[in-house]
Amino acid sequence: MVWLFAILALGTVALILAVLYRPLGDYMAWVYTSRKDWKVERGLYRVIGVDPKTEQTWQAYLRGVLAFSAVGLLLVYGLQRLQQWLPYSLGLPAPSEPLSFNTAASFVGNTNWQSYAPETTLGYTVQFAGLAVQNFVSAAVGIAVAIALVRGFAYRRSGTIGNFWVDLVRGTLRILLPVAVVGAIVLLAGGVIQNFNGFTEITTLTGGSQSIPGGPTASQEVIKLLGTNGGGFFNANSSHPFENPAPWTNIVEILLMLMIPFSLPRTFGRIVGDKRQGYAILAVMGVLFVASFSILTALESAGMGTAPRLAGGALEGKEQRFGIIGSTLFATTSTGTSTGAVNSMHDSYTALGGMIPMLNMMLGEVAPGGVGSGLYGILVIAVIAVFIAGLLIGRTPEYLGKKIGPREIKLASLYILVMPTLVLTGVALSFASPGVREEVENTSILNPGPHGLSEVLYAFTSAANNNGSGFAGLTADTPWLNTTLGLAILLGRFVPIVFVLALAGSLAAQDKVPSTAGTLPTHRPLFVGLLTTVTVMVTALTFFPVLTLGPLAEGLL
Partner 1 sequence: MNTSTRSTGRTTWVAVRAMALFTVLLGIVYTLTITGIAQLAFPAQANGSIVRDGDSQVGSALIGQSFADGDGVPLPEYFQPRPSAAGDGYDAGASSGSNYGPENPDLIAAIEDRRAQVAEFNGVPEDQVPPDAVTASSSGLDPHISPEYATIQVARVATARDLPIETVRDLLAAHTQGRDLGYLGEPRVNVLEVNLALDELER
Q: Is 17 in the site for partner 1 (CB under 8 A)?
A: no
Cα separation of 321 and 246, whole Å?
Answer: 7
Determine how β-strand 402-403 pairs with β-strand 200-203.
unpaired
Cα separation of 80 and 346, whole Å?
Answer: 28
Cα separation of 523 and 528, whole Å?
Answer: 7
Site for partner 1 in 33-62 (CB under 8 A): 44, 47-50, 60
Give me the least distance between CB of 522 and partner 1, in Å please.
36
Give me the least distance between CB of 137 and partner 1, in Å please.
6
What single string gives the DSSP state of each residue in 383-411? HHHHHHHHHHHTS--EETTEE--HHHHHH
Q: Which stretch binds partner 1 (CB under 8 A): 213-221, 287-295, 411-419, 534-542?
A: 213-221
Helix (H) or strand (E) holding 209: strand 209-212
Q: Which is nearer to partner 1, 250 or 292 (CB)?
A: 250
Q: Which is nearer to partner 1, 138 or 465 (CB)?
A: 138
Q: Are 250 and 239 in contact (CB under 8 A)?
A: no
Amino acid symbol at 237: N
Give me the least distance between CB of 268 and partner 1, in Å please.
26
Find the binder of partner 1 among 31, 251, 290, 302 (CB under 8 A).
Answer: 251
Pattern 434-453, binding to partner 1, x per CB under 8 A? ------------xxxx-x--
Give me the least distance between CB of 15 and partner 1, in Å please.
13
Q: Which stretch binds partner 1 (CB under 8 A): 214-222, 280-288, 360-368, 410-418?
A: 214-222
Site for partner 1 in 482-501 (CB under 8 A): none
Give me the least distance between CB of 172 and partner 1, in Å please.
7
Q: Which stretch binds partner 1 (CB under 8 A): 20-28, 185-193, 371-379, 405-413?
A: 185-193
What single string gives the DSSP state of each residue in 297-333? HHHHHHT-SHHHHHHTSS-TTB-TTTHHHHHHHHHHH
Cα separation of 490 and 131, whole Å?
Answer: 16
Q: Which stretch binds partner 1 (CB under 8 A): 128-136, 275-283, 360-368, 397-405?
A: 128-136
Q: Is 15 in the site for partner 1 (CB under 8 A)?
A: no
Q: Which is nearer to partner 1, 320 or 516 (CB)?
A: 320
Q: Are 380 and 409 in contact (CB under 8 A)?
A: no
**CB under 8 Å to 95, separation ≥6 — which residues?**
80, 81, 83, 103, 116, 121, 122
Cα separation of 38 and 172, whole Å?
Answer: 13
Q: Is 208 in the site for partner 1 (CB under 8 A)?
A: yes
Q: Which is nearer to partner 1, 180 or 507 (CB)?
A: 180
Q: Hey, which residues does 202 pair with through a beta bridge?
A: 210
Pattern 143-182, binding to partner 1, x per CB under 8 A? ----------------------x--xx--x----x--xx-
Q: Is 343 in the site for partner 1 (CB under 8 A)?
A: yes
Q: Which is nearer to partner 1, 197 or 396 (CB)?
A: 197
Q: Is 512 in the site for partner 1 (CB under 8 A)?
A: no
Give me the least distance between CB of 468 and partner 1, in Å please.
16
**CB under 8 Å to 47, separation ≥6 — which residues?**
none
Find the binder of partner 1 among 275, 321, 395, 437 (CB under 8 A).
Answer: 321
| Burial (0-12, 13-18, 19+ Cβ within 10 Å), 129 | middle
Q: Are 323 and 313 in contact (CB under 8 A)?
A: no
CA 188, 136, 340: angle at the middle one, nearest 5?
75
Q: Which is nearer to partner 1, 416 or 445 (CB)?
A: 445
Find the binder of partner 1 among 175, 236, 272, 355 (CB under 8 A).
Answer: 236
Find the binder of partner 1 among 21, 116, 153, 234 (CB under 8 A).
Answer: 234
Give me the least distance between CB of 150 and partner 1, in Å please.
23
Site for partner 1 in 395-424 (CB under 8 A): none
Q: Are 370 and 357 in contact (CB under 8 A)?
A: no
Amino acid symbol at 330: F
Cα separation of 403 and 212, whole Å?
Answer: 60
Q: Is 85 in the site for partner 1 (CB under 8 A)?
A: no
Find the binder of partner 1 among 34, 84, 200, 548 (CB under 8 A).
Answer: 200
Q: Which is nearer to partner 1, 191 or 405 (CB)?
A: 191
Pattern 525-554, binding to partner 1, x per CB under 8 A? -----------------------------x
The gap between the terminal CA atoms of the chain, to the nearest Å, is 30
Neighbour-count burial for 43-53, b at 16+ CB within 10 Å, e otherwise: ebbeeeebebe
Find the binder of partner 1 among 231, 308, 370, 390 (CB under 8 A).
Answer: 308
Amino acid symbol at 388: I
Neighbour-count burial for 365-393, b at 16+ CB within 10 Å, e otherwise: bbbbbbbbbbbbbbbbbbbbbbbebbeee
Amino acid symbol at 8: L
Pattern 287-306, binding to partner 1, x per CB under 8 A? -----------------xxx
Bond into 87 cis (ω within 30) = no
